[in-house]
Structure 1
Amino acid sequence: MAGLNVVMAQLNFMVGDIPGNLEKVISVLEQSAEKGADVVVFPELTLIGYPPEDLLLRPSLETRIDNALNDLKSRMPADIAAVVGYPKVVDGNVFNMAGVFLNGNTVTEYAKQCLPNYQVFDEKRYFTAGHSPCVFELSGIKVGVTVCEDIWLPEPTEQARLAGAEIMLNLNASPFHRGKNYERDELLGQRANEGQMPIVYVNLVGGQDELVFDGGSMVVDAKGEKQFQAPFFEEGLYQVNVELGDDCATITPNQLIEPPSELASIYQALVLGVRDYVNKNGFKGVVLGLSGGIDSALTLAVAVDALGKDRVEAIMMPFRYTSDLSKNDAADEAERLGVRYQSISIEPIFDAFMASLAEEFEGTERDTTEENLQARARGVLLMAISNKKRYLVLTTGNKSEMAVGYSTLYGDMAGGYDVLKDVPKVTVFELSRYRNTISEVIPVSVIERPPSAELAPDQKDEDSLPPYEVLDEILYRYIELDESAEVIIAAGFEAQTVNRVLRLVDINEYKRRQAPEGVRITQRGFGRDRRYPITNGWKIGD
């Protein structure tokens, strides 16, 4: 039986840091050579990171990549192949390329054929599609190469099979959303079975702005059965030996770890997204407003798990409507998590605003203006602390609130990163309960009491919004499934509620455009996924 010893380099790269990424590649090759590997497979666009977006349009791209590849070939250890992703400029066209390098030479190159242009992907903006399969020989085995989306469609695998490939190496930068790992399992099984060859699937890991890449690299045999599963949400080098017989493939070691549950995977994605956003952008730590409510409580827990307690500061900013229960719960959680905690009243700031505006407001009734002033006073305090300490402000709004505009511009939306931006309110409750199964850091009273912004006496969220169980289902249908009002109503939802919710979503696009980045955990988040014009005449019923 012919065999191939493969290292799956499930790594976290920095977008744009070509020299730093190259050093990581060379270090991994040296480690893998010492362990007797035949080939190391890296993720998609290894050298520049994913997604590089308009960095691909920079005039110096070609020179920088050429220099890095020449450096790689001159420094790589002998007798070990590297399959590396990078952008390559050919006659003015940019290709999403995978190159195979061995003993200082370029063995072959493969240009990605299937360029995704949906959800968060817009590769057709940058890349030209390839058309030809790539098959090379290594250790007596004919090896095919594809890149990410190529594995989601049957044609590239079939091309490789017809060109004689006996095993497929697939380089990926596949972002996380809830349930994604099950989709990949089914897909790889189907594609391996069709191509009658094992597939080595290597995925990127790490956070990049709103995207989180969850790793989960794996190997499936020629029958589509998974034989090796790497961990999720963590870097690592995973070495497997693939032996090919006449009618079977043997993969050793056989490692089938249980993937994390859906809630565990969402929580880990939030933690990784926060950690990489803060660290890769050079912030010393984070600060957030801790209100005693569930959103800020969960955000604080994620922040501490991501960065450690010494890099997190929580600020309670009470007002006359802030209950003693909220004050006590906030202090309790801060103590449980061991973070620096301060209480700064916004009463004098609010009073100063109102005094300055007294003449302008004369003869008017009290309304949401005064509520928004409270939120904006808090935003001013947090941003001042951020400026002084070089701490990133974490905002705490969830997807349900962002969808319907239940937030204040330059108030609770003021900050640099929104941990829960793509997390519906019902899921916030579920994640809080999940986190407490690890260690009870969120007071039970925070989870059990009705949510309230506490900007007015005895205020509750459901005074202004439908129950979150109803709201979140309507939002899921409208935002993620693109269902019309008629379809949602026909599914059993009250017409007046549906029309009101959909109108709120539509008229608050301007707010979401000014919202900070946040971790994407669904198939359609507010960001790269969903791009609607602010000014438009589209009718809700359409």
Structure 2
Amino acid sequence: MTDRFRATLAQLGPAPGDLAGNAAQAMTAWTAAREAGSDMLALPELFLTGPDLGDLVRDQAFMDAVHDTVADLAQRTSQGPALLIGAPCRARGTLHAAYWVCQGGAITARVLKHTVAKDGAYDHAGLFDAAPIPGPVSVGPVRIGVLLGEDAHAPDVAEAQAESGAEILLAPTAAPFHRGGHDRRLTHAVARVVETGLPLIHLNGLGGDGRTTCDGTSFILNRGGALAHQMGFCDPGLRHVDFARDGAGWTASTGDRPPLPPQVEQEYRILVDALTHRCHVTGAGTAIVDPTGGTDSALTAIIAVDALGPDNVHCVMMGEGGPTRPSRDAARDLAHDLGARIDQIALDAVAGALAEALHPLLRDHEDRTAFPARLRDLALAALAETTGALPLVAVNKTDMALGAMPHGANPGRYNPVGDVFSSRVEQLCQWRVGTHRNWMRAPANITIPSGVFRASGPPSTEGLPPDVLDEILGHLIERDADLADLAARGHDPDTLVRITRLLHKVEAGTAGFPPGPRLSSRALGDRRYPAGQAWLAES
């Protein structure tokens, strides 16, 4: 009986829909596993296709290509370790998330996911069908119990695998980042280990499409829940792990276990990586930022330079309706520190000509503030389309929730701070100024003029501290909190009603908000209240 087993874990990020590119990544990892003498290479859930597939999986030609690619990988990996890879499949007229086992030049097993999530970052409930609970698969001398994605979140699949003879549990997933997400995954994994008495490999992917971003942080637990290995947060790489068998079963050797970064660093890293992935999937190599001199635009500019490098970020300030002189100076100073190009466009004459041309139609309307804002957006959109750059808007979650968005923000194609409350924007700025990591591409020594930090919340909540406002909005948006419960926490009932009415008022426009990276368990656009609904429970 063989008492040694080496597994290679590939914590890598696939490109959405890029079968050839993702297969090439798999082959590179497999070659490294073979050279390391491994018995098995494991890749994350839906690695071959990328996890955020949408209706692409309904395309028969695409699904045929998926099967052909897996079959080709099986043939190419005949002389070496088994290859385990996530990809969708069709089975008897149904569509499933699956985990394919390739060894000896053939596809030897295909594990179908049993638990289909009804909510979450990926809308798989309407795409994939649930399958019966699978049994373990043989990989060399070991019986592997596969817990695919959400199958690791409840005991039924793991217990069935253990009762059917599984010796090691493998939980490949594509779990996107949100606050507290890793702790929940670890809690689920510990529960499965305690319930079954088996070691567990939790393998998470990386990357995404700029909205959801998988953060890696894969780990291995031995019997009893002891942490044997942990891979880096958002760091691609391979981990070769040796298992040894004794009378009690298999045990993983102990390896590196880097701690998670502080929460503020995790969030900032996700914002940077998400913008990098967004540019990759859209084909944009550069980004355009409209620096208003405020905190949101300052953080957005820094994120852009950290993601793309100073040579690939262009700051463009507009004249009419743009930032004030002190704000323009602050924006120029920041762009200089970042090493990014900054220019100013004078739109005063154009705005005046537009107002004069429309004057016969607007004699009874004195407010002309929308004109310069719309012109700014038009100019930025024209620059982006002509140069192929990704236009960035900078509107935080607080302002979006309360309708305090600038005119014409929606045409921007990406909003890096859209899931960040205003008080957190300031905290991220202050953390970044005092911190530099090797994955950041901006210079180490940058400063943000103190004048860019907002002194109060949006005008509609004047007098309410930003952190208190953001706490209330967090409960309402992310947890559907009851107004009476919030009032019992000490919040003013009239203020709660006013904020809730403002939040309901913007519901009609949330579908048109520019996309951005998710940090929370529920972004603003995830709410499903009817537009214009009139009902409101008084607190």
Task: Normalising by structure 1, report the TM-score.
Answer: 0.93
Structure 1 counterpart of 2:468, from 467, 470, 480 = 470
Q: Which moved more, 1:502-511 or 1:386-395?
A: 502-511
Greater alpha carbon shift after TM alignment, 170-179 vs 74-83: 74-83
Task: Report the more deviating stretch, 322-331 or 90-99.
Answer: 322-331
In 2, the alpha carbon distance for the partners of 1:321 and 1:292 equals 9
409, 414, 419: which is aligned to 2:411?
A: 414
Deviation of 1:179 (Å): 1.9
TM-score by length of 2: 0.94
Change in 2 beyond 3 A, CA 1:379/1:516: same
- 2:432 alignment partner AA: R
Please give the secondary structure, in 1, of the residue aligned with 2:225: coil
**% of aligned pairs identical?**
28
Paired residue secondary structure (1:184): helix
The offset of 1:127, in angstroms, is: 1.3
The equivalent residue for 1:113 is 114
Deviations 1:43-76 (A, max 9, x none): 1112211021111111224311221122112211
> Shift in Å at residue 325 of structure 1?
1.9
Is the Cα–Cα contact under 8 Å of residues 81 and 103 in structure 2 kept in the other structure?
Answer: yes
Query: Structure 2 CA distance, aligned partners of 1:162 and 1:447?
Result: 61
Matches of 1:333 and 1:321, distance apart in 2? 17
Task: Summarize deviations over 1:428-472 as a string: whole Å, max 9, x none.
Answer: 011001111124424141454526xxxxxxxx8346554322221
What SS is found at the alignment partner of 2:490?
coil
Choose from 510, 515, 536 the match for 1:539.
536
Instruction: Quote how far apart the aligned CAs of 1:251 are.
Output: 2.5
Aligned partner letter, 1:375 = A
Report how far residue 375 of structure 1 moved. 2.1
User: Does the 8 A contact of 2:396 with 2:422 survive in 1?
Assistant: yes
Say whether 1:298 aligns with 2:299: yes
In structure 1, C-alpha distance between the alignment counterparts of 2:451 and 2:228, rounded to whole Å: 43
1:524 to 522, 525, 535: 522
Q: Letter of the 1:219 partner, please give it.
A: I
Instruction: Quote the offset at 1:266 in angstroms.
Output: 0.3
SS at match of 1:255: coil
Shift in alpha-carbon separation, 1:3–1:447, aligned structure 2, 3 A: farther
CA contact (8 A) 1:202 1:218 kept: yes
Distance 2:286 2:384 in 1: 9
Q: Deviations over 1:273-292 (max 9, x none)?
A: 00011122111310010011
CA apart distance, 1:365:
4.2
Instruction: Select which of 441, 444, 452 maps to 2:446.
Output: 441
Within the candidate set 412, 421, 425, 2:422 is matched to 425
Alignment of 1:186-201 (within 5 A): 186-201=187-202
- Name the counterpart of 2:438: none
Q: CA deviation at 1:257?
A: 0.5
Paired residues for 1:289-438 under 5 Å:
289-319=290-320, 322-366=323-367, 370-409=368-407, 411-438=408-435
In the alignment, what sits opposite 2:268? Answer: 267
Asked if structure 2 preserves the Cα contact closer than 8 Å seen for 1:200 and 1:219, the reply is yes
Quick one: which amino acid aligns to residue 394 of structure 2?
A: T
Determine the C-alpha separation between the residues in 1 that align with 2:47 and 2:174. 9
Q: Distance in 2 between matches of 1:181 and 1:442?
A: 32
2:450 matched to 1:461? no
Shift of 1:247: 3.1
CA distance in structure 2 between the aligned counterparts of 1:248 and 1:263, rounded to whole angstroms? 40
Cα distance in 2 between the residues matched to 1:117 and 1:463: 36
TM-superposed deviation, 1:101: 1.0
Once the 2 structures are TM-superposed, how far is the Cα of residue 399 of structure 1 from its aligned partner?
0.6
Matched, 1:102 2:96: no
Aligned residues: 529
Amino acid at match of 2:458: D
Deviation at 1:536, TM superposition (A): 3.6
Paired residues of 2:377 and 2:409 also in contact (CA < 8 A): yes
Please give the residue correspondences for 1:114-263 in structure 2 after superposition, counting only pairs within 5 Å: 114-247=115-248, 249-263=250-264
Q: What amino acid maps onto 1:441 in structure 2?
A: I
Point out the more displaced range, 503-512 or 353-362. 353-362
1:487 offset after TM fit, Å? 2.5
Aligned partners of 2:292 and 2:328 also within 8 Å: yes
Amino acid corresponding to residue 317 of structure 2 in structure 1? M
Gapped runs of 5+ residues in structure 1? 452-459
